[in-house]
Structure 1
Amino acid sequence: MASFGLRPHVVYGPEREQGLTAAPSLAARAVAEGRTCEINYTGTAGYDYVEDVALALVRGALESPPGAHVVDLPGDEATPEAIRDMLVALEPSAAGRITVNGPAIPSNAPPERRLIQRLFPDWERVSLRVGLARTLEFYGWVKQS
């Protein structure tokens, strides 16, 4: 019997709109829609693109070897300021429209990392920059529809 547990970091991407750490996704949506936005927390965290999380859950359900497995995704670590800067680099018109303010979020680093590559050596993740670009693209498409 196989058991699979997944410990993602902050999940971001299209349609992530609930909770404190939805702010990077909401900021990307605001950029795509030409609005202002505040990322309402500070501090360094790991970030995992929503498609990576979904793929990990599907692979965990269908491909896990026998035994109990708990794994972490190898997300990018970043600050909200770095996310703001990436969004502005992707869409320069967003300069000055994204602010960062708020409390530091607690560290989400597990005591011992057990990367998903232990189970799936072929695992490839979406980088934070590419994930933010895909999120901007999604919300730009939604706006045009």
Structure 2
Amino acid sequence: MTAGPSLACRAAARGETYIIPYIGTAGLVFVDDVVAPYYAALRREPHGAHVFNLPGEVVSNDDVVAAVRDVVPDAKIGIDGPVLPFAEDVGEGDLRRALPGLPLTSLRDGIRRTIELYRAAP
């Protein structure tokens, strides 16, 4: 169910209709921002055992729909379904201190880049 924002981007890029099948607020993380800490940890080898979270930017599905429509104004994207109880106050811990310089892609940039990727796909 939580693939909704990505599937909304794909539908917008293709001119299709899509309904995000849940209501809620969640932390969204752009794929490059997921890969970067792993790559940084492999290159920097931080000492000790660390546990980090990647909460991303906490946004509502209304924010997602607005960001999609900023890129594709006539996107046929909506929201309907149950409220999903996502944890909203998940901190990163010491992630950025242990691995400085990590990217943090904004919702708007992530949505734009995702739609561009789907538009470029065959």
TM-score (norm 2): 0.89
Structure (1 or 2) with the greater strand fraction: 1
SS in 2 for 1:68: coil
Shift of 1:25: 0.4
Q: Give the 3-state SS of the residue equivalent to 1:61 in structure 2.
A: helix
Give the deviation of 1:111 after TM superposition.
6.0
Aligned-residue identity in percent? 36
Instruction: Name 1:17's counterpart in structure 2.
Output: none
Structure 1 gap ranges (5+): 1-19
* Greater alpha carbon shift after TM alignment, 110-119 vs 130-139: 110-119
Match of 1:25 in 2: 6
- Summarize the Cα distance change of 1:113–1:138 in structure 2 as closer, same or farther, 3 Å threshold: closer
Question: SS at 2:113's partner residue?
Answer: helix
Counterpart of 1:57 (choices 38, 41, 46) is 38
Asked if the contact 1:64/1:119 (under 8 Å) is kept, the reply is no
Which residues in structure 2 correspond to 1:1-145 (within 5 Å)? 20-73=1-54, 75-94=56-75, 97-109=76-88, 113-142=92-121, 145=122
Q: Secondary structure at the match of 2:28?
A: strand
Please report the TM-score for the alignment, with normalisation by the length of structure 1. Answer: 0.76
Structure 1: 4+ residue segments shifted above 6 A: none
For structure 1, which segment, 108-117 or 34-43, has the greater mean C-alpha deviation from structure 2 after superposition? Answer: 108-117
Gaps of 5+ in 2: none
Q: How many residues align?
A: 122
